[in-house]
Structure 1
Amino acid sequence: MFRRRRRREQPEPVVEQEPAPPMRESGPWDADEPHPDNDRIDLGGLRLPHNPDFDVRLASVGDQHVGVVVLYDESSLQLQALAAPRSMDLWDEIRTKIAGQAGHLQEQEGPFGTELSGEMRVDGGSRPARYIGIDGPRWFLLAVISGKAAVDDATAEAFHEFIKDVVVVRGDEPMAREEPIPLRRPNDPSRQETAERSRFNPYKRGPEISEIR
C-alpha cells in the first residue's frame, strides 16, 4: 500500500501588530497601558517628555534618586512618583497632609482634578505654588508647580502639557505604601552616583536638587 505524503504545513506569516491606541486623551500614562510613542527621557521609574526649553534635574535622598525638578520661565515643576496600594487612591490623604504642613493653601479645580494653591514657605519668605496629585494604578504622582507658572496661565499650560505626557514605570516588585519609585540617570542605568547628593522634600522648594544634563 502506498501512502500519500502529507504536504508540509507552511508557517503562517508573522503579522506585526500595531500598538493599541491610547484609551484616554492624555496622561500621565502607566507604562503598561497604551500611550503615544513620543521622544522621552528614560529615568527608570519616570519617562519624561523631551523638551529642549526645559532644564531637567534629578533629586536624591542618600544614594537613591527619588524625584525630578523641571525649570522653565522663572518657574519650577517638581515631580515625585510614589508606590500606592492597588485598592485605594492616595491624593485625598496626601492633600490633607500637605495642607497641614504648608499652610495658606486652598482647594481649587484644575486640569487634573482637585488641587491645592496658595503660598509655599521658602527661605524665610513665600512663593506662589500649586500642588497637583494624580492617582494611577499602584502609583501616585505628585506635581508641585511654583513661581510664575503658579499664577500665569500661559506658563502653567507648558507644565500641564509636560505632565500629560509623563509615563510612570511602577514595576512588579513589592514596595511600601508611599515609597518613592526609584529613578536613575538616563545614560547610566546601573551606577548610583554619589556626587551632588542632596535632600529632596516634595512639599518644599530649596537647594536640595542635584543637576543632570
Structure 2
Amino acid sequence: MGLFGFGKKKHQREDQPAERVDEDRKAAEAANAAARADSAIAETADAAGAEAAYAGRGEERGPWDVADEAVPDYDDYLDLGSYYLPYLQGLELRVKANRATRAVIGSTITYRGSSLEIEAYAAPKTLGLWDDVRADLLKANEAATEREGTFGTELMLPVQVRGGKTVITRIVGVDGPRWMLRGIFSGVAANDPDAEETHALDQYFSDIVVERGEEPLAPRDLIPMHPPVAPAERKAARAATEAEAEGASGKEHLKDVPERPQGPLSQDQETQVKTTLSRGPMFSEVR
C-alpha cells in the first residue's frame, strides 16, 4: 500500500490546515451557486422564448378559423374560398392564379408603400407547420435570418428583384387547426416596425378568417380557392339556397358565383391576375 503512496495522500489530507479546507468548501459553494444561476438564466430564456411565441390565436387574436368561438363577424369580408379578407380603405387586391388552369392560388394586398402576399396551406392535425417551413427557408437561403416579431418567430429574407435591386421581405406564419397562413410583407411593412402602414397590415393579416374545409389534403398543399366573391353575392347565394329549400326557383342571377374547387391546387406556372372588384367600396378597384 505504501508502494503506491495511498497512505501518504491520506496523511496529507488529514494534515491540511483548517483554512485550506474552508477555502475548498467556499469554492465548492461558489461553483454550485454559479451553476444554479446559469440554470435560472436558462429557464428565464426559455420562458422568454415561450412568451415570444404567437400565443392566443383563436382566443385573443387572429388570424382566425371559421370555427373559433371568438371569430369576428366576417359576413362583410371578401370570400376567396380558403380565407376571407377584411376591408381596408385605400387597399388594392391582386389575385395570383395558375397560368395554365387559371385556378386561384393566392392573393397580394397593396397598401400605400407596402404589400402583403397571402397563402393558406393544409397542415397536420396535431403539429404546426410553420416551424418546419421556416427551417426549410433558412436552409435554402443563407441570407435569411430569424427574429421575434408581431407573429412570433418571423423571417427576414433579402430578395433580388428586377433590375438587380435587393429588397428585404418579412415572412410570417401562423398555425391554426389543420392549416397554416403565410404572409410575405415587403416595402415599408417589412422594414419599419413603427410605421403606420406596418401596423395596419399586421392588423389586416391578424383579421383574416381561414376556412380549411373538410377535403383531404396533404400537409403543405394549398387550400383550394376561388375568384373573389363579394359579400352581396354571397348573401344572395345564401338567400337563394334558403329559397330553394322552401321550393322557390329562379337562380339565374347566381350563375357567375364561383364554387369552391375540390382537391389541392397546383403551384406551377404562377401568374399575377388583376381582379376587378365591382363591389366593396373599401377596396380600390384594380383594372
**What amino acid does structure 1 have at the position aligned with 2:119?**
Q
Equivalent residue number for residue 11 of structure 1: none
Counterpart contact for 2:174–2:180, Cα < 8 Å = yes
Matched residues, percent identical? 36
TM-score (norm 1): 0.78
> How do residues 1-213 of structure 1 correspond to structure 2 at under 5 angstroms?
24-34=59-69, 35-38=71-74, 39-61=76-98, 62-63=100-101, 64-123=103-162, 124-153=164-193, 154=195, 155-187=197-229, 188-190=257-259, 199-200=269-270, 208-213=271-276
Greater helix content: 2
Task: Report the Cα distance in structure 1 between the residues aligned to 2:136 and 2:160, rounded to whole angstroms.
Answer: 15
Please report the RMSD computed on the Cα atoms of aligned residues, expressed in angstroms.
2.0
Task: Report the Cα distance in structure 1 between the residues aligned to 2:158 and 2:113, rounded to whole angstroms.
Answer: 16
**What amino acid does structure 1 have at the position aligned with 2:65?**
D
Shift of 1:77: 0.4
TM-score (norm 2): 0.59
Task: Report the Cα distance in structure 2 between the residues aligned to 1:133 and 1:99, rounded to whole angstroms.
Answer: 14
**What amino acid does structure 2 have at the position aligned with 1:30?**
D
Residue 185 of structure 1 aligns to a residue whose secondary structure is coil
Residue 69 of structure 1 aligns to a residue whose secondary structure is strand
Q: Which has the larger radius of gyration?
A: 2
Counterpart contact for 1:69–1:78, Cα < 8 Å = yes
**What amino acid does structure 1 have at the position aligned with 2:181?**
L
Instruction: Give the 3 Å change call, closer, same or farther, for CA 45–30 of structure 1 in structure 2.
Output: same
Task: Report the Cα distance in structure 1 between the residues aligned to 2:95 and 2:272, rounded to whole angstroms.
Answer: 6
Task: Report the Cα distance in structure 2 between the residues aligned to 1:103 and 1:210, rounded to whole angstroms.
Answer: 31
Structure 1 unaligned residues grouped into runs of 5+: 1-21, 193-197, 201-207
Task: Report the Cα distance in structure 1 between the residues aligned to 2:160 and 2:136, rounded to whole angstroms.
Answer: 15
**What amino acid does structure 1 have at the position aligned with 2:81?**
G
Residue 82 of structure 1 aligns to a residue whose secondary structure is strand
Greater strand content: 1
Structure 2 unaligned residues grouped into runs of 5+: 1-56, 230-256, 262-267, 277-287
Q: How many residues align?
A: 180
Counterpart contact for 1:102–1:120, Cα < 8 Å = no
Instruction: Give the 3 Å change call, closer, same or farther, for CA 110–42 of structure 1 in structure 2.
Output: same
Structure showing greater relative contact order (alpha-carbon pairs closer than 8 Å, 6 or more residues apart): 1
Task: Report the Cα distance in structure 2 between the residues aligned to 1:24 and 1:110, rounded to whole angstroms.
Answer: 19
Task: Report the Cα distance in structure 2 between the residues aligned to 1:37 and 1:89, rounded to whole angstroms.
Answer: 26
Task: Report the Cα distance in structure 1 between the residues aligned to 2:216 and 2:260, rounded to whole angstroms.
Answer: 22
What's the CA shift string for 1:133-169, capped at 9, x where partnerless? 1111100111100112111232211110101110110
Counterpart contact for 1:131–1:142, Cα < 8 Å = yes
